Amino acid sequence: MIAYIPSPSQSVWYLGPFPIRAYAMCILAGIMVAIWISGPRLAKRGGQPGQVLDVAVWAVPFGIVGGRLYNVLTDPELYFTAGRDPWNAFAIWQGGLGIWGAVVLGGLGAWIGCRRNGVRFLDFADAAAPGIILAQGIGRWGNYFNQELFGVPTTLPWGLEISPVHRPVGYAQYSTFQPTFLYESLWCVLVAVALVLLDRRLHLARGQIFALYGMLYTIERGFIEMLRIDHANYILGLRLNVWTSIIVFAGSAVAFWLLGARGRRGDDRVNGSAHDAVAGLPVADET
C-alpha cells in the first residue's frame, strides 16, 4: 500500500517537436468545463445559445493576462532581481497565474463581452460562478504536475511526494508535503455544487451567487495559504494572499448584502422573476 501520493513522472509530453504541457492542459480543461456549465445556466436567465462562448472570447484572454500580471506584480523579485531572467515573466507554462488578477481582469473582459452581445453582466456572473470555481479546481492539478505550491512537510498517508529538485531551500531532508492542490481542488468542487443548489432553492438577487462564490472560495484559500511554503511576500506577519483573501471575503460579503437589499427594494430582478429588464427576454424559474 502506497503511504503517499506519488509525484508525476513528467509534466511535458511531445507531439513531434511540439510540447504538450500538463499545466496548460489543466487550465484549458477548466475553461472548457466552465463554458459547458455556464451555457445552460445563462439560458435559464434569458440568454441565447452561444452567448457564453461569445463572452468567453473576451473573458478568457483577459483573465489569463490578469492572472499573470497579479503574479508578476506581487512577486516582482522572482523576475526582475539580479540573476533572474525578466523574460520569464511571460513563461506562463511554468505556473504562476494568480486567481485574483484572473477574476478582476477576466471580469472586465466579461463585462466588455456582455456589452457587445446584449447580456446582462450580473446574470452572466451568476451563471458562470459555479463553472469558474470548478475550473479553478481543475486548474490546480497543473500545480501537481509542476510540483509547486505545496504545503508544509507531513507524514500523513496522503502526503504529496516532491522530487528533490523541486523542494524549497531548507526542506531537502523532507520527501512528502501537504497536497494543498488537492485540498483546494476538492473544496472548489464542493463550492460549485453548493452554488448550484443554493441558486436553485433560493430566490437571490442578481449578482448574489457570484458574491457567494467570492466568500466561499476565500474562506478556504486563506487557510491553504497558511499551509504553503512557496515564496511569498509578507505583511504584518501574514502572506500577501491571506490579506487578499480577507479583503475579497469582506468585499464579497458587503456586495452580497447590498445586492440583496437592492433586490428587496425591487430595484433588480431576483432569480425566477418573469422578465429581463435589459434584453426583454423571458427568464425561467429556477426553483
Give a yes or no: residue 7 inside a domain: no
281 has pLDDT over 60: no
Evaluate whether residue 262 is within a structural domain.
no
Q: Is residue 260 part of a domain?
A: no
When pLDDT is cut at 50, 70 and 90, the band that residue 264 belongs to is low
What cell numbers appear for 58 in the block? 473576451
- Distance separating alpha carbons of residues 281 and 258, to the nearest angstrom: 25
C-alpha 137/C-alpha 144 separation (Å) is 12
- Residue type (1 letter), 178: Q
Residue 73, in any domain of the structure: yes
Give backbone dihedrals phi and psi of 123, rounded to 5 degrees, phi first. -65, -45
Q: Which of the two residues, 210 and 274, has the higher pLDDT score?
A: 210
38, 192 contact by CB (below 8 A) = no
pLDDT above 70 (res 279): no
The burial class, CB within 10 Å (0-12 / 13-18 / 19+), for 281 is middle
Question: At residue 186, what are phi and psi to the nearest 5 degrees?
Answer: -65, -40
Q: Quick one: pLDDT at residue 144?
A: 96
Instruction: Examine residue 99 and state whether it is found in any structural domain, yes or no.
Output: yes
Judged against a pLDDT cut of 80, whether residue 74 lies above it is answered with yes
pLDDT-above-70 percentage for the chain: 91
pLDDT confidence of 263, banded at 50, 70, 90? confident
pTM beyond cutoff 0.75: yes
SS3 151: strand
The answer to whether residues 183 and 152 touch, using CB atoms and an 8 Å cutoff, is no
DSSP summary character for residue 89:
G
Q: Is 230 exposed, middle or buried (0-12, 13-18, 19+ CB in 10 A)?
A: middle
pLDDT tens digits, 131-180: 999 999 999 999 999 999 999 999 999 999 999 999 999 999 999 999 99
The region of weakest confidence among 91-95, 106-110, 188-192, 278-282 is 278-282
Question: Could you give the 3-state DSSP secondary structure of residue 210?
Answer: helix
| Total number of domains in the chain | 1
Range of the domain at 108: 12-209
Within a domain: residue 243?
no
Q: Which helix (H) or strand (E) holds 169?
A: none
